[in-house]
Amino acid sequence: MLIELGERLEPMPDVLKTDATKVPGCASSVWLYPPPSAKQGVLHFLADSNSAFTKGVVALVLATVQDQPAQKIAQTDIAELLAPFGLKHDFSPDRTRGVPNMIAKIKETAERLAAAA
């Protein structure tokens, strides 16, 4: 199911897969980029991974925040929203080690945009 979810992610252009957009600490490569939104204060992330499984985890994380106002994302406990999926318990630590770093990058972006609004 996670692999199928990952296959539905919006394609991320290779030109955006840089060290600046790479999420640290992931066993597989993960990139996360918040392009400028047409809607003021709303975040729409592009993301990708070089692993089909990890790409599914990335898609699951994004599903909790995609196309939401930055202020709302900044106040959201993303880890709590993901808890019912059992990522910490059902998968090896190598598979999910980068999830907190991805969440931190999302929250940092949301907080920065919310403060600027």
Query: Domains of the chain (ranges plus CATH)?
Result: 2-116 (3.90.1010.10)
State the catalytic residue, choosing from 2, 26, 82, 113.
26
Q: What pLDDT does 94 receive?
A: 62
Q: pTM score > 0.85 for this model?
A: yes
Confidence of residue 109 (pLDDT cuts 50, 70, 90): very high
Q: What confidence tens digit (pLDDT) does each residue in 58-104 have? A: 999 999 999 999 999 999 999 999 888 877 666 666 666 788 899 99
Q: What pLDDT does 116 receive?
A: 80
Q: What confidence tens digit (pLDDT) does each residue in 2-43 have? A: 899 999 999 999 999 999 999 998 888 999 998 876 577 899
Q: What pLDDT does 113 receive?
A: 87
What tokens does 26 get? 């992931």
Is 26 a catalytic site residue? Answer: yes
